[in-house]
Structure 1
Amino acid sequence: DGFTRCAPVDVTLVRDGTHEPLEIRLERGGTILGRVQRPDGTPAAGATVRQRITMESLRSLGAEENGIPRAATAGSDGNFRFGELGAGLVQLVASLDGFATSTIVEAQVKPGEETCDVVLTLRVGGRITGEVYAKDGTPAAGAQVIAQLTADPLAQRFATSDREGLFAFEHMAPGTYQVLHIPGMGGASSDPEDATAMFGDMKMASATVEDGAEVHVVLGAPPKDPVEISGRVLAGEAGVPSVVLSFIPDAIDTISGLKLATTDAGGRYSLRLDGPGRYTVSIQKPGASGQQQSITLSLDVPSGASFGHDFHLPLGSIAGRVTDGEGRPAAHVRVSLFESGPVRNGTLMGEHYSEIETGEDGRYELVWLKPREYAVAVGGVALGGLLGGTSTSGRQVREGVVVQAERRTDGVDFQLRKPGRITGVVRQADGTPAPEAAIFARDAQGRPLERLSMIATDSSGRFTYEGLEPGDYTVMARKDTLTTGESARLRVEEGRTAEVELALHGGTILLVSLVGEDGQALDCTVSVLDEAGRQVNGTLALTEIMAAFSNGTLNSKEQRVGPLTPGKYRVTVVADDGRKTTKPVTLSGQAERKLNIRL
């Protein structure tokens, strides 16, 4: 009593050698004294006050009863006392039946001291109503529906439809939600094929909630102009089983139009699309623990009751072996693949993305690759640091790995080194901490260590970037339309920690498109280089991907880049017929800049 729960302690077990003593330090907890009030300012008796759950805090939830953090309860006068809190900036949120949660309030906690006069105000909230339909077009009774706040993947609510397929979410906090129904969710089957089939029937819509307002969504309504599409996924002449196909409609409400299918043992698939038009199709070979190998293609679906199309996967591949510092096979090490160079419009990070692990013999193989150059990265923290953790190996990136048509590029081997780390703080322009800012790192050659950033700042604006190979790095942060730009070079040494401070400022979203002589938009690839020659497009944060799916900004005719700092950039676009043009562009800090290039 009187002490706060200690921070998680990472322990490395080695086969040989002497283990250092495990030291766990307890610190005196701080206390927050405050008041919870209703929207009209009256006391909110019985309201619950909790620390906001973030991805960073998930690592330590296992220490709490039932995985739920401790809470404080407001008395009859609305006052609460929340003790034994860890030092630092904490985010508090209050809840009470009949109201939406309060806005998030930050408070500074000091060991052994009281922080007073913290006020949490509940909101009226909005209402999401909806109707859900089964595959045959009839109302789906007893369907479980999830509403997930786009800006916070951990903020979820659940509802069940009635006999007429109607459902409602009451007292929802303002924001944009993904509303979805997954038939069969909650079943006991652990078969991956059952799981992918279940997600293939998933129905989704997007809803924007305002305080005191109501919004209605429809899940799975029979489309007006449906197209039944079917075919096979082939590698050479052989069908590819158990792969997931995602059909993403172009430049509309991506969430509601997203359709999924899974191939059978012969590589066959079939599903019903809501209508004709351009689709971005992702074909994914799923693996354990978030692993995947995927290729993204474009498909124009014509009008008509049915359409047949076979997908022929490219047969190029990359293979190699990863060893530790002593030359022994390194098992279960992260291996990532992404494209070197330009990024195709309509894709998030290019046509190819893979995240796998080495086998027990340290070997790996990356498949379904078109002839071109790729970057292969190994080592680093599991899942890119999504759930924190440490790594026993530093991240290495090798660019310019060439794959020829239907050929295997072998011998792309790596020997791991012990890592260091970078810690830092990101601040707003006024000097206050910037929570939930995405962190990106580049090595000395300017190569991004991750195309998909899973690392973000905590409520105090702090972050830790683990699993860095000794060497020089730059880091940057961005959040919404704000960016810090690249930091000065930081030297990382084995087992040591480098420190950095970053400040967010207004950035510019650059929108790049290409048109032909007739003014029609053309398919193309895009490369945007800064003054140092570093490519600045093709990197995304997890929150940015969720936003792209919710607001329909994933467009095959336009690429969204940034936010970028003020400065000079060179934009190169290449049409599918090989025609190429390069344009300079100067950004001065405006919120958005459209660059429509004509061939």
Structure 2
Amino acid sequence: MSSTTACGYDFKSGERYLVYASRSSGELLPRVSLCSRTRPSDAAFDDLELLRAAQQGRSETRIFGSVWRSDHTSANAGGSTGLQSGVKIVATGNGQEFETVTDSSGWFRFTRLPLGQYTVRAWLNNHFSKEGRYAPTLSAQQGCAEVSFHFNAGARVAGSLTGPDGQPMAQATVVIKDVGLPKTVDAQNAGLFWAMTDRQGRYEIEALPPGRYSVGISSPQTSGADVPYLLVSPRQGTATARRAPLSVAPDQNLEGVDIQHPANIELQTVSGVVRLPDGSPADAAVVVRDAAHGWLLQQVKVDADGRFALKLFVGQSYRIHAYNFQLGHHDDQHSQPLTVLVGQKVEPLELRLAWPPGHVRR
């Protein structure tokens, strides 16, 4: 028989458990709560050691925990989650530093530590480290703490977004796109990762496969408008790079990828018409890409007369083309792409659809 009284696992017949319970004055039976530290005895080593020390009148300090790694990424949706052995753990406090590694079961422990506050950090490799969610304090009243770490497979990019005045920009969207993926309509959402900034303007994007990424933001200044992402040049350290792709290595931890919103942004309407090979209006979609790296930024449907109007950012270059989505996948008609630098005078565009070379109509 089994029960789900405890939180996170089933009780199984024949297994031994360490059960946490409490009993108030006047109660005959002890009381258990749904989510507690109740667990199988073979997973309660640190709890049992501390209880034995208390029974013997010994005061023992201990920081312990586990390291988990999830292999779920956009490139590996069926990945696994498990405890990670051999991970370096460093605890710093009271002017001292203590180091250990996770054992074969993915657990670590520091014992007999001086009382005080500690910072605990796990080093998955030379690139990637992560600090515990809180800084545990060991005191005479509470001499133990558990700190667990959860890593997503892949790299991490983190930084802050500030306005032109240098103040944090909260609740804005930061997006990065793997520009090394095939430039096809079908791959428009592949390799796209995003995060919302917090109240301090900070963002964090995890589980990134290695690659080359362009960076964009959803500008609060254009909230509610149907516009593409505003492509930006993040700073790393004190240098602001040209808008070149951000190179990310396997499991790399890129901190300080900071973004400052441009002081002045302006939108310009770029309009045009899409025509079939015979010159009649087409029922088509217009695709807007970053001219430099091919990032698909926007896709809009034309009206009944084949016309479209795009609101694009002045000063940025776009590659615009159209395709006929009414046909089957193998019978797509595409127009030649046109490169547009917004800000210069742009005449209405005419995108003429054509059959691909060598196409045989069915």
User: Could you state the TM-score of these two structures normalised by the residue count of structure 2?
Assistant: 0.41
Structure of larger gyration radius: 2
More strand by share: 1
User: Could you state the TM-score of these two structures normalised by the residue count of structure 1?
Assistant: 0.28
Higher relative contact order (CA 8 A, sep 6+): 2
